[in-house]
Structure 1
Amino acid sequence: MTTSTTTEVKPREQWTGQTGFILAAIGSAVGLGNIWRFPGVAYENGGGAFLIPYLVALITAGIPILFLDYAIGHRMRGAAPTAFRRVAKWMESLGWFQVFICFVIGLYYTAIIAWALSFFVLSFNLGWGDDPAAFFTGDFLQLSDPGVSMQFVPSVLIPLVAVWGVTIFVLAAGIAKGVERTNFIFLPLLLISFLILVVRALFLDGAADGLNALFTPDWVALGDPSVWIAAYSQIFFSLSIAYGIMVTYSSYRNRRSNMTSPGLVVAFSNSSFEILAGIGVFATLGFMAHQQNVAVGELEGLTGPILSFVTFPAIISEMPGGQIFGALFFGSLVMAGFTSLLSILQVVSSAFQDKFGWSPRKAAVILGSVSAVISILLFSTTTGLIALDTVDMWTNNIGIIASAIATCVGVIWVARRGEEMRLHLNSVSTFQVGKWWLVLTGIIAPVVLTYMLIEQIRTLIVDGYEGYPLWYIGVFGWGAVLVMLLASALMTLIRWRNSPDKFTAWPTSAELREKETVR
């Protein structure tokens, strides 16, 4: 703990209030995975019974790590590298690792939003034709074998440039005028659009069959460890925790802001939207199964891009009023993706603002332009889908999980700042955090996540991935993680424009102990 009494060189941007922060945090958590990942994961892991490990994972890992992110960002008043350096100097590199995780995710996340934007336009005339699968991989993506291609695909390139342009504009406006205002507009629109979509889906023929397929509990599945791992994985990825987002967002809150109660609102809002998405998606899949006179389980493409860009277009083409349904669905994907994208890229922007003293506008223009060029070169070509799939697998299942383990172990056990973070949360929040929180963040979560990481590494080494060539996996999979590690080390070595060490946390450690004694 430094003893310097000098605080930040310049005032930090702030949300306009608690509502703005909550909406932005929900906007970050509610993303593409809520719509295309949760329903399929739940269906494949016990249906209604999956909600039990899902809730256990939410309570024992999701919310505790969310609180840890909040405590680090709010107490240390900085982007991820700044905040972690103030926890312990050696942890700055972990902060940069989280920044480059977000940098890489931003490169391909924009491509998915570009796809959704194109399909939103195509919805009005069902432009994918009679064979959505052939259209998606053929006419639309012009997919080729794994490799390095410089053949650009106009149907991806044009909307991708548009997405990057809007993103840079919003980030340049800053936290309150850019990110917060966008969430104020998009989040209510997303909720209204998706509610209309779900209500319409519930009145389709076969909707009940789809819901029965999703929610009929398979209690035997609860004895399968992989089901519990799937639950922890889903909670972990959907809450935007342990890769800098919530650290950065909480750093923009007023010093006396309530942290834990908004955290509970964000966590349960995210889970509620996931369940709502499950209802909408499987009611729609029930309609498709009814049309084809097969069981829901016999359908293909129940998760991921195939669900959104192949299965759903096929359904939309068959249903009454499909054009409107399609516009609502793909419009929801665009809005959910864009609010999450802003949070991902704000992590990068904020870190470079802290390190080099840049303004939000300068950071947005420089970083956004560099990111846009890389994104276009990698993900708007004929090999874009394969590159996206590979980079996403390694970034999420290796990079983010490793980051979470390092965060929990580093803060709680190595730096020994866990109790300080707990007391900080209690000093500013209405919902008080007990000693149980240290057990969950310091023992339960790291143990589960370490098991997940080891199993994932073993599987990728032994089985490879999707039959892709080893050289390709080495370059775009393991290579992506290696680049993030090297970039993190390099950024740690670069000198700060204004030293982040000239800082004293508030309340001081003595004041925290005094408040705890009074309680």
Structure 2
Amino acid sequence: MTTQKNAPEVGREQWTGQLGFLLAAIGSAVGLGNIWRFPGVAYENGGGAFLVPYLVALLTAGIPILLLDYSLGHRFRGSAPLVFRRLGRRLEGLGWFQVAIAFVIATYYTVIIVWAIRYMLFSVNLAWGDDPTTFFVADFLQDAGTGYSGDFVGGIFWPMLGLWLVTLLVLGFGVAKGIERLTKIFIPLLVVLFVVLVVRALFLEGAAEGLNAFFTPDWSALAQPGVWVAAYSQIFFSLSIAFGIMITYSSYLKRRANLVPVSYVAAFANSSFELLAGIGVFATLGFMAAQQGVAVGDLEGLTGVALSFMTFPQIISMMPGGPVFGVLFFASLTLAGFTSLISILQVVSAAFQEKFGLSRVQATAVIGGLCAVISLALFSTTTSLATLDTVDKYTNEVGVVASAILTCVLVGLVTRKVPTLRAHLNYVSTARLGSWWSAMITVVVPLALAYILVTTAMELFRQPYEDYPWSFVNGFGWGAIAFMVAVAVAFSLLPWRRPVDEFTPETLQEVTR
């Protein structure tokens, strides 16, 4: 039962069903980090042994916070700022902090997708030549180092502008007609493309050596705190939790939604894709090592930008049928990145629609347009590479982790809503959550993440990230965090265009314990 006070919620957009929501959630979680980050992180942190802390992190932090996001959005029916406002008026700022995180990520996420699109075309005739690293850095990006040059790279600016127009068009169509339709096509297509890619990689010469390098466990690594930090960081990086996406997405579900099983499916689908990516990537790296007559561990560029745009083009040039392999690989990157980008921008769009009474089209045009302008100004220039690297580091390892800690502390210890949220999840789901979930949210997760945040912050204060100039990392790294805090304070002080406080969540027909 709901009260008449909830009348403004009647016209809220909805997914057409659970499948649409599930595919959208998977589309958000399965992104660039699954393909280019997880394999390298696993290899550098104990190989097969890394799967132990990774699984622990998934079960103790990833799934609990995913369920927390789902319960918040579904019970309080709104974007991140509206949900936290309904938890307590003074908590609205945390919602805007999450919106600011999503805004910042969207500005640089787009350019990586553009790189993937361009490289999908470059794969046809192996346009990078004999030196993919020089081609990427000097010819393609025209990299000018740190700072801000203001010199635009035409080969990035114009495709990026086109991508922004397509992105805003999809957002403008709405949740069911835009986002859901897109993910119902893109996610199955992504799975098919990537499975074909992995199967091809497994039949390459040296693939077995690559898989041995990936899966051979270094059990001594489990004694190193940094390995556990890396595992928790990877889970947060890849699951799209703690910065508003799953709060926003779950708010569009119907009142009866089987949230607990869906969260398990989404989480394990994401991790399965990461494992599949690791198999494909390291089978391919094994081929490269065999061609060069070296061990896989002697190869360079095994993660991130270097893996995708320097190492893989070199492999593609070596292998039989390389152009086809290249098109499949970069098409997979494009699809994974685009579905994640849409979910990130929906966080921002939904917040401004609700706060300022904007229509979906108005919010898409104004806020999406502003994000596009900033994105083009910063990341289609000759200084984009270092800027992207720095903003991404601080946003994900400081901003997102801080957001997760604050969410757990405010929901679990300040408002004491965890029992109610657990009751809500049990009420709408076929699978039930026990008291273990409450313990994870209120004790285990915030303590583990606090350790990660302090460790990361001490490292960033001790020496400049990647030895970039202090002025640069402070400006674009801590500057990004300062922007998020400023947004959180400023927008939480502005009035809502419609009444939002007179809201009564659905009555739970069970005893809350």
Structure 2-normalised TM-score?
A: 0.98
Report the equivalent of 1:461: 461
Report the equivalent of 2:347: 347
SS in 1 for 2:500: coil
SS in 2 for 1:5: helix
Q: CA deviation at 1:512?
A: 4.1
Q: Which runs of 5+ in 2 are unaligned?
A: none
Q: CA deviation at 1:8?
A: 2.3
SS in 2 for 1:172: helix
Report the equivalent of 2:177: 177
Q: Please tell me whether the aligned partners of residues 8 and 503 of structure 1 are also in contact (alpha carbons under 8 angstroms).
A: no
- Between stretches 239-248 and 4-13, larger displacement belongs to 4-13
1:31-74 CA deviation, whole Å, 9 max, x = no partner? 00000011011111111111111111111111000000000000
1:304-347 CA deviation, whole Å, 9 max, x = no partner? 00100000000001101110000000000000000000000000
Query: What is the 5 A alignment of 1:299-378?
Result: 299-378=299-378
Distance 1:132 1:446 in 2: 43
One-letter amino acid of the counterpart of residue 58, structure 1: L
Query: What is the 5 A alignment of 1:249-268?
Result: 249-268=249-268
Report the equivalent of 1:448: 448
Distance 2:507 2:32 in 1: 38
Q: CA deviation at 1:3?
A: 9.3
Report the equivalent of 1:416: 416
Q: Please tell me whether the aligned partners of residues 81 and 92 of structure 1 are also in contact (alpha carbons under 8 angstroms).
A: yes
Distance 1:455 1:443 in 2: 19
Report the equivalent of 2:48: 48
Q: CA deviation at 1:9?
A: 5.2
Query: What is the 5 A alignment of 1:399-438?
Result: 399-438=399-438
Length, aligned pairs only? 512
Structure 1 residue ranges, 4+ long, deviating more than 6 angstroms after superposition: none
Q: Please tell me whether the aligned partners of residues 82 and 92 of structure 1 are also in contact (alpha carbons under 8 angstroms).
A: yes
1:366-385 CA deviation, whole Å, 9 max, x = no partner? 11211111101000000011
Q: Please tell me whether the aligned partners of residues 186 and 339 of structure 1 are also in contact (alpha carbons under 8 angstroms).
A: yes
Q: Please tell me whether the aligned partners of residues 108 and 375 of structure 1 are also in contact (alpha carbons under 8 angstroms).
A: yes
Distance 1:150 1:264 in 2: 45
Q: Please tell me whether the aligned partners of residues 7 and 502 of structure 1 are also in contact (alpha carbons under 8 angstroms).
A: no
Report the equivalent of 1:162: 162
Report the equivalent of 1:187: 187
| 1:74 matched to 2:60 | no
One-letter amino acid of the counterpart of residue 176, structure 1: A
Structure 1-normalised TM-score?
A: 0.97
Report the equivalent of 2:285: 285
Report the equivalent of 1:382: 382
Distance 1:406 1:311 in 2: 38
Distance 1:470 1:380, change over 3 A: same
Aligned-CA RMSD value: 1.3
Report the equivalent of 1:212: 212
Q: Please tell me whether the aligned partners of residues 24 and 180 of structure 1 are also in contact (alpha carbons under 8 angstroms).
A: yes
Report the equivalent of 2:480: 480
Distance 2:303 2:323 in 1: 22
Q: Please tell me whether the aligned partners of residues 8 and 502 of structure 1 are also in contact (alpha carbons under 8 angstroms).
A: no
Q: CA deviation at 1:438?
A: 0.8
1:109-168 CA deviation, whole Å, 9 max, x = no partner? 001001111101111111111100000000000001211111100111121111101100
Q: CA deviation at 1:216?
A: 0.7
Distance 2:434 2:196 in 1: 41
1:230-274 CA deviation, whole Å, 9 max, x = no partner? 111111211110000000000000011111110000000000000
SS in 2 for 1:8: helix
| 1:87 matched to 2:87 | yes
SS in 2 for 1:130: coil
Q: Which runs of 5+ in 1 are unaligned?
A: none
Report the equivalent of 1:120: 120
1:448-475 CA deviation, whole Å, 9 max, x = no partner? 1000000111000101111111111111
Kindly, what percent of the aligned residue pairs are identical? 60
Q: CA deviation at 1:4?
A: 8.1
Report the equivalent of 2:201: 201
One-letter amino acid of the counterpart of residue 208, structure 1: A
Report the equivalent of 2:5: 5
| 1:64 matched to 2:60 | no
1:438-495 CA deviation, whole Å, 9 max, x = no partner? 1111111101100000011100010111111111111101111101111111111111
Q: CA deviation at 1:7?
A: 3.7
One-letter amino acid of the counterpart of residue 54, structure 2: Y
One-letter amino acid of the counterpart of residue 57, structure 2: A
| 1:20 matched to 2:20 | yes
SS in 2 for 1:425: helix
Q: CA deviation at 1:10?
A: 4.6
Q: CA deviation at 1:219?
A: 1.3
